[in-house]
C-alpha cells in the first residue's frame, strides 16, 4: 500500500514538472494567410529554414508567414497585446533574441505577445517584394484584433514592437496602416494603438539608413520617390500612434539618428512620444546584456504603457 502511495506521489510530481512550463503562458501558432497569400509567386525551390545564423537562432526564406501567440496565464491578463516584429535586416528573422524571449518578458507582465514570422522580401516568391512584409504586418494586427475577445485582449490596446529592421516594419504599419497593399476580408483596422521601436531602422535616406535593410526591401537603385515612401519619418500624420523609442548612442549598425528623426517628427505632428538614448549598448541587444544598461528599457517601456493606460 505504501509503495502504491509513493508511486502516485511520484507521478503527481512528474505531471506538475511537465505542466509547469505551460502554466507560464499559453502558446499556439496561427497562419497569417490560411486561404492564400496576396502578392505571391509559387516557387518549389524556395525552402524556408529554421536554423542558426552563427550562434543566433533565426528564420530565413520565410514562405509561410504565421503568428506565434503567447497569452498570459490565468487571470493575469491586462488586456494589452503587443505584436512583435524581430529584426534581421529584412534578410533573416532573429526570432529568439528579438522574439520569443521578448514575448516571455511581456507575458510575465500580463501582456499578450504575438511574434510575427513575416515574409522576407524576395523577387522569387513575390510580385512586389517591397510590400510583402507590410502586407503581413497589416494582416497580423488585423488578426489580433479579430481574435481579441477569444484571447482576452482589449481591441483598443493592441500595439506593435519592432527591433532594427523589424522596427522599420513596425513603424511602417504605424504610418501606413490605411494603405491598400492588399484587399482585406473585412473592415478591421490595421492601426496599432501604440508602437515600441527598439534600435529601429526608420529612414531610408542615404545618410541615415541601414543600407542592407534598404537594399533588401526596395533594391539597390531605388528612385527618390520610393526612398521617401519607405522613410517612415516622412509618413507621420496626426493619426500616427504614440511611440516609445530606445537606441544606443554607440550603435554603429543603425544610427540613433533614425530614432531621433522619428521622435522629432512625431512631436511636430503633436503625437505623444518618448525617446531614450543610452550611452552604450551597441546594436541587437534584445532584452539587454551585462555590458550595457539596456536591460532597463523593458522596465521603462512597461512604465510608459502604464502611463498611457495600456
Cα–Cα distance between 200 and 260 in angstroms, integer? 10
**Quick one: cell of 218?**
526596395
Question: Is the residue at 7 inside a domain?
Answer: no
The three-state secondary structure class of 94 is: coil
- The answer to whether 145 touches 159, Cβ cutoff 8 Å, is no
Virtual CA dihedral for 44, 66, 147, 305, nearest 10 degrees?
Answer: -150
Question: Is the residue at 271 inside a domain?
Answer: yes
- Give the predicted TM-score (pTM) of the model: 0.90
Cα–Cα distance between 122 and 133 in angstroms, integer? 10
pLDDT for residue 20? 37
Q: Give me the domain span that covers residue 97.
A: 27-307
pLDDT for residue 2? 42
Question: Is the residue at 21 inside a domain?
Answer: no
Question: Is the residue at 15 inside a domain?
Answer: no
Q: What is the CATH number of the domain that holds 140?
A: 3.40.50.1820
User: To which residue does cell 526612398 refer?
Assistant: 227
Q: What is the C-alpha R_g of the chain?
A: 20
Residue pLDDT tens, the chain, 310 long:
444 443 333 343 333 333 333 345 679 999 999 999 999 999 988 988 887 787 788 899 998 999 999 999 877 899 999 999 999 999 999 999 999 999 999 999 999 999 999 999 999 999 999 999 999 999 999 999 999 999 999 999 999 999 999 999 999 999 999 999 999 999 999 999 999 999 999 999 999 999 999 999 999 999 999 999 999 999 999 999 999 999 999 999 999 999 999 999 999 999 999 999 999 999 999 998 655 554 589 999 999 999 999 9
Closest by CA to 58, choosing from 30, 98, 18, is 98
Closest by CA to 248, choosing from 216, 215, 296, 305, is 296
Question: Is the residue at 20 inside a domain?
Answer: no
Cα–Cα distance between 160 and 232 in angstroms, integer? 15
Helix (H) / strand (E) element for 243: namely: strand 243-248
pLDDT for residue 221? 95
Question: Is the residue at 259 inside a domain?
Answer: yes
Cα–Cα distance between 190 and 107 in angstroms, integer? 22
Question: Is the residue at 152 inside a domain?
Answer: yes
- The answer to whether 195 touches 171, Cβ cutoff 8 Å, is yes
Please state, as a whole number, how many other Cβ atoms lie within 10 Å of the Cβ of residue 217.
Answer: 27
Question: Is the residue at 124 inside a domain?
Answer: yes
Cα–Cα distance between 199 and 274 in angstroms, integer? 13
Cα–Cα distance between 66 and 269 in angstroms, integer? 34
Cα–Cα distance between 285 and 87 in angstroms, integer? 11
> What's the domain count of the chain?
1
Amino acid at each position: 500500500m505504501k509503495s502504491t502511495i509513493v508511486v502516485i506521489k511520484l507521478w503527481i510530481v512528474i505531471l506538475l514538472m511537465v505542466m509547469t512550463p505551460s502554466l507560464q503562458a499559453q502558446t499556439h501558432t496561427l497562419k497569417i494567410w490560411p486561404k492564400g497569400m496576396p502578392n505571391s509567386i509559387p516557387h518549389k525551390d524556395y525552402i524556408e529554414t529554421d536554423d542558426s545564423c552563427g550562434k543566433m537562432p533565426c528564420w530565413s526564406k520565410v514562405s509561410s508567414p504565421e503568428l506565434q501567440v503567447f497569452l498570459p496565464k490565468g487571470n493575469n491578463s491586462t488586456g494589452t497585446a503587443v505584436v512583435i516584429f524581430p529584426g534581421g535586416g529584412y534578410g533573416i528573422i532573429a526570432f529568439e533574441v528579438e522574439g520569443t524571449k521578448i514575448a516571455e518578458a511581456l507575458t510575465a507582465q500580463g501582456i499578450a505577445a504575438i511574434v510575427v514570422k513575416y515574409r522576407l522580401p524576395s523577387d522569387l516568391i513575390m510580385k512586389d517584394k517591397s510590400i510583402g512584409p507590410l502586407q503581413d504586418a497589416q494582416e497580423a494586427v488585423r488578426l489580433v484584433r479579430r481574435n481579441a475577445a477569444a484571447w482576452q485582449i482589449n481591441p483598443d490596446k493592441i500595439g506593435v514592437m519592432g527591433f532594427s529592421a523589424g522596427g522599420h516594419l513596425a513603424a511602417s504599419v504605424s504610418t501606413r496602416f490605411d494603405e491598400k497593399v492588399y484587399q482585406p476580408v473585412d473592415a478591421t483596422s490595421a492601426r496599432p494603438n501604440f508602437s515600441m521601436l527598439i534600435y529601429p531602422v526608420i529612414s531610408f535616406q542615404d545618410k541615415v539608413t541601414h543600407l542592407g535593410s534598404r537594399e533588401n526591401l526596395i533594391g539597390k537603385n531605388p528612385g527618390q520617390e520610393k526612398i521617401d515612401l519607405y522613410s517612415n519619418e516622412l509618413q507621420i500624420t496626426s493619426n500616427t500612434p504614440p511611440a516609445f523609442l530606445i537606441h544606443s548612442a554607440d550603435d554603429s549598425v543603425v544610427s540613433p539618428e533614425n530614432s531621433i528623426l522619428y521622435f522629432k517628427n512625431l512631436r511636430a505632428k503633436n503625437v505623444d512620444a518618448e525617446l531614450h538614448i543610452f550611452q552604450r549598448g551597441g546594436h541587437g541587444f534584445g532584452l539587454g546584456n551585462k555590458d550595457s544598461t539596456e536591460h532597463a528599457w523593458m522596465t521603462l517601456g512597461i512604465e510608459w504603457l502604464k502611463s498611457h493606460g495600456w
